[in-house]
Amino acid sequence: MSDRFDCKECSESLYGRKYIQVEQQPHCIPCYDRLHANTCHQCKDLIGHNARTPAQLPVCHQRLCVRDRRQSPCLLWGSLSSSPRGKRPPSASLTRRLLHSTSLKSELFYEDHHYHEHCFRCFRCERSLADEPFTPQGEGLVCNECYCNEFSSKCVACDRTVMPGSRKLEYAGTTWHEDCFVCQGCEKPIGGQAFIPDKEAYYCVPCYEARLAPRCSHCKKALAKGGVTYQDEVWHKECFVCTGCKTPLAGQPFTSQGDSPYCVKCFSTLYAQKCAGCNTAITGFGDGKYVSFQERQWHQPCFKCSRCSVSLVGAGFFPDRDQILCSDCNSDE
């Protein structure tokens, strides 16, 4: 008595009929289409057995086992299987993106959706993408040729398309091929190195420093960025220091004696006049206003009557040896 080889769902014999195995269980074609066929994301039709060429489906026949003389099913075309509806099929990479095919090859799987092979096309030129590289664009897919023609940027140096996936550089809203972004001086690709723009040209740091960078007035080395300008000359921030104590002056208040810069403390100690009222230096910092009389100087707040301390700024006063008096105090004498 022969072993039965029946459809898992309807139990009809599969001898002499085409069938599809799902998880190692044979199904007749009608049962497979009804239970397991996926829906094409593009046309919304089922991807049934009629989407596959007949030669791709196995046919079962009977033969005698040479060992125990029992009849058993034989797969003429080998064990071809398909995935149940909604499950990811066995994958085989067809393009550079995540495009997969079932083992029956007429059903494609991409981004959790199934497609008939003839429905998986570029939305611009209708070219089949089954064996072509492609790029998502909005809710559709485009072949590389259409993407380059419509969406890719062009290299500002050679005016050729920057292909998707190729190495590129972007700066100030413009795009270059990596090999086209070169130093104006040495003409070598800059790549990921630091560079310095100069008008419409770009330089690597060594070329810029050697050819174009201003030189520090103190150390004579190039300034790649930043620095301090003083008396029409440029300085590195670390080179611009107080002539007296060598404290860096960048970002600090300072004054000068001749051509030499000084911090407030050194200038006050070495050169500033002393206030006749408080005996501290008159530096010109802060309010900066002072009163001078007979080779003596006062901060404005210190210029007041020696007796009653009323301010004498803008008022008449009377000198009395080392003192200055207001008119009232002078009248009391």
CA 198, 204, 205, 209 dihedral sign is negative
Q: Residue 121 corresponds to which amino acid?
A: R
pLDDT tens figures, 160-204: 888 777 788 888 888 888 889 999 889 899 888 889 888 888 998
Predicted confidence at residue 2, as pLDDT, reads 55
Per-residue pLDDT tens, the chain, 333 aa: give them: 457 889 988 999 888 888 888 888 888 888 888 887 888 888 888 877 665 433 344 444 433 333 343 433 333 222 233 333 433 333 323 332 333 333 444 678 888 888 888 888 898 888 888 888 888 887 788 888 887 777 778 888 898 888 777 788 888 888 888 889 999 889 899 888 889 888 888 998 888 877 777 888 888 888 867 788 888 889 999 999 999 999 998 888 888 888 889 988 888 888 878 888 887 887 766 566 778 888 788 888 888 898 888 888 888 888 888 888 888 888 876
Please provide the distance, in angstroms rounded to a whole number, between the alpha carbons at the two ends of the chain: 150
Predicted confidence at residue 77, as pLDDT, reads 28
Q: What is the 3-state secondary structure (H, E, C) of 65-134?
A: CCCCCCEEEEECCCCCECCCCCCCCCCCCCCCCCEEECCCCCEEEECCEEEEHHHCECCCCCCECCCCCE
pTM of this prediction? 0.35
DSSP per position, 203-244: EEHHHHHHHT--B-TTT--B--S--EEETTEEE-TTT-B-TT
Residues in the chain: 333
- Whole-angstrom CA distances from 58 to 5, 80, 230, 281, 286 are 13, 7, 90, 106, 98
Q: Are 31 and 48 in contact (CB under 8 A)?
A: no
Q: Are 168 and 154 in contact (CB under 8 A)?
A: no
Q: How far apart are CA 108 and CA 84, in angstroms?
A: 14
Reduced to 3 states (helix: H, G, I; strand: E, B; else coil), residue 323 is: strand
- Spell out the residues 6+ positions from residue 100 whose beta carbon is closer than 8 angstroms to its own: 88, 89, 90, 91, 92, 93, 94, 108, 109, 110
Q: Are 325 and 306 in contact (CB under 8 A)?
A: yes
Closest CA to 41 of 117, 95, 97: 117
pLDDT tens figures, 127-166: 888 888 888 887 788 888 887 777 778 888 898 888 777 7
Domains, the chain, with CATH or none: 1-120 (no CATH), 288-331 (2.10.110.10)
Predicted confidence at residue 60, as pLDDT, reads 44
